[in-house]
A and B are shown apart, each in its own frame.
Chain A
Amino acid sequence: VSCDDARATLIEALVTQRAPTDPEVLAHIESCPACRAARIDYDRLWEEMGNMETGDPSPVAGLRFRRRLAAERLVSPRRTFRRMLPASVGAVAAAAIVAGLIGFQVGTRRPSEEAGVIGGSRNSQRIFLLLLHDDSTFRRGEPPMTQAALVAEQVRWVNGLAPGTYVTTDKLARDRLVWLGPPHTPVAPGDQVDGIFVIRAKDLAAAQQIAATNPHLKHGGRIEVHEIDRLPAPDTGNYGYPATGTAVHR
Chain B
Amino acid sequence: MPAEHSYFVKRTDEQLIAAVQDGDGDAMGTLFDRHHRAVHALCVRLGRDSDLADDITQEVFLRVWRYARSFRGRSAFRTWLYRLTYNAFADSQRRDARRHESSPLESVEPDPPTEEIADRHVVLEAALSKLAPAQRAVLVLSRYHGLGYDEIGRIIDCSPGAARVRLHRAMNELRQLYFALEGRCT
The residues of A that contact B143 with a CB separation of less than 8 Å are 46, 49-50
Given known A15-B167, A45-B174, A58-B54, contact A78–B45 (CB-CB < 8 A)? no
Q: Closest CB of chain B to A173's CB: distance in Å?
A: 8
Query: Which chain A residues lie closer than 8 Å to B29 at the CB level?
Result: 62, 65-66, 69
* Residue B57 CB within 8 A of the other chain: yes
Tell me whether A15 and B175 are in contact (CB under 8 A): no
From residue B156, how far is it (CB to closest CB) to chain A in Å? Answer: 16
- A to B contact number (C-beta, < 8 Å): 100
**In the docked arrangement, what's the CA distance between A68 and B44, Å?**
22
Per-residue CB proximity of A107-125 to B under 8 Å, as 1/0? 0000000000000000000
B81 to chain A, nearest CB (A): 14
Chain B neighbourhood of A8, CB < 8 A: 168
Q: A48 and B36: CB pair below 8 A?
A: no
- Determine if A239 is an interface residue (Cβ-Cβ < 8 Å): no
* Contact assessment for B24 and A54 in the assembled complex, using a CB-CB cutoff below 8 Å: no
The answer to whether the Cβ of A84 comes within 8 Å of any Cβ in the partner chain is yes
Enumerate chain A residues within 8 angstroms of B25, measured Cβ to Cβ.
Answer: 69-70, 73
Residues of chain A from 47 to 63 with CB closer than 8 A to chain B in the complex: 48-58, 61-62
Q: How far is the CA of A8 from the CA of B143 in the complex (A)?
A: 16
Give the interface residue-count category, chain A.
Answer: 35 or more
Assuming A45-B171, A62-B36, is B121 touching A52 (CB within 8 A)?
yes
Give the distance in Å from the alpha carbon of A49 to the alpha carbon of B4 in the complex.
Answer: 39
B175 in complex: contacting residue of A41, A64, A65, CB < 8 Å: A41
Q: Which of B3, B23, B50, B168 has the most CB of A within 10 A?
A: B23
**Residue of A with least CB distance to B27:** A84
Q: A7 within 8 Å of B by Cβ? A: yes
- Say whether A54 contacts B41, CB under 8 Å: yes
Per-residue B-contact encoding for A145-162, CB less than 8 Å = 1, 0 else: 000000000000000000
Residues of B within 8 A of A58 (CB): 51, 54
The answer to whether A42 touches B175, judged by C-beta atoms less than 8 angstroms apart, is yes
B105-127 interface with A by 8 A CB criterion: 120-121, 124-125
The digit string for A16-31, where 1 denotes a CB below 8 A from any CB of B, is 0000000000000000
**24 A–B pairs (Cβ distance < 8 Å), ordered by A:** A7-B168, A15-B167, A41-B178, A42-B175, A48-B120, A49-B124, A49-B144, A50-B143, A54-B40, A54-B41, A56-B37, A56-B40, A56-B50, A57-B50, A57-B57, A58-B54, A62-B32, A62-B36, A65-B32, A65-B36, A72-B65, A81-B23, A84-B24, A176-B2
The 10 closest A-B pairs by CB, nearest first: A78-B23, A57-B40, A54-B44, A54-B41, A55-B50, A82-B22, A58-B54, A49-B143, A41-B175, A11-B171
Residues on B lying within 8 angstroms of A by beta carbon are: 2-4, 19, 22-25, 28-29, 32-33, 36-37, 40-41, 44-45, 50-51, 53-54, 57-58, 61-62, 65-66, 120-121, 124-125, 139, 142-144, 167-168, 171-172, 174-175, 178-179
